[in-house]
Structure 1
Amino acid sequence: MEANEYLEDIKSRLIASNAIAAFTIIEELDLGDRGYFRARVTLSNDDFLEVAEYFKITNNVVTTTRYRYQWMDSDRANLRKRWDNVPHFPNLPNFPHHIHVESEENVVSGYVLSIQDLLDILEKEIEI
């Protein structure tokens, strides 16, 4: 697999997901064995989601290296969840992966997450 194939997989999944009403690609970068994807998304419940994922591909295996997925209410005023791996909570298990739940201050341990994994979560959490 190359970056262009993975980027196409992400876009196809966004189109096919019942959790997604619409999306706009902000940036897409294909460097052969690595890449980046960023989009703004309207969810099927009218909430807002912004996704950003850096990834690399080794021996046809995609690895998410850096990510930030922010889910907010439809007014973009209230945080629902933000998954990221910015290294600013070193005392949490699974550092640097963490989730902000309903506020910047309420942070729990997370795990590496791709956009595809995130869509699996959203499809379960949003009543479709």
Structure 2
Amino acid sequence: MPHRFDISRIIALLKKNPLTSKVEILTLDEIERRGFYKLRCTLISSKYKLDIKYIKTENDFLYSYQLYANRDVARWDNEPHYPNLRNYPHHYHYKENVSASEFSGEPIEDIKKVFSLVSEIIDSI
């Protein structure tokens, strides 16, 4: 579970990012210490979108960052289904491959990494 989770700070960071042209709040459900959040960023090259999902419970924090255009391009998440990867459960889906990611589950730090990687991916396509 992340030490600090502040959805308003996350949204502000997304809006300030130079790759982002629009941020939509699709779902923002909070009950006591639990929450489900889904955000969508339309990127400057409006062909691409980045969906961000967070599920926060008392004991767990799951995230997913998914880059897509007409199809999925890349996804980073911490769903615990690849236990043999270094840095389990944090991993990265790209094309047909799954590999360990350098994410930590700290949303502010991870978003910075996401946008750096998204920029590299878009430049390489």
Matches within 5 A, 1:70-89: 70-72=66-68, 75-79=69-73, 81-89=74-82
> Structure 2: which amino acid aligns with 1:66?
L
Structure 2 gap segments, 5+ residues each = 121-125
**8 Å Cα contact 2:81/2:89 also seen in 1:** yes
TM-score (structure 2 length as normaliser): 0.73
Alignment match of 1:107 (pick from 98, 110, 117)? 98
4+ residue runs over 4 A deviation: none
What RMSD over aligned residues (CA atoms) do the two structures have, in Å?
2.6
| Offset at residue 9 of structure 1 (A) | 1.0
Give the distance between the partners of 1:115 and 1:76, measured in 2 at CA. 26
Structure 1 residue 122: Cα displacement: 4.0
- In structure 1, the partner of 2:54 is 53
Distance 2:77 2:41 in 1: 17
Structure 1 unmatched ranges of 5 or more: 58-62
1:63-103, CA deviations, whole angstroms, 9 ceiling, x for partnerless residues?
Answer: 9710111112xx33241x211111221211222211112x2
Amino acid at match of 1:107: V
Residues 122, 10 of structure 1: CA spacing in aligned structure 2 closer, same or farther, 3 A cutoff? same
1:13 counterpart SS class: helix
The match for 2:64 is 68
- Larger relative CO (CA 8 A, sep 6+): 1 or 2? 1
Which residue of structure 2 aligns with residue 60 of structure 1?
A: none
Q: Percent identity?
A: 27
Q: Say if 2:116 is the partner of 1:124.
A: yes
- Within a 5 Å distance, the mapping from 1:6-25 to structure 2 comes to 6-25=6-25
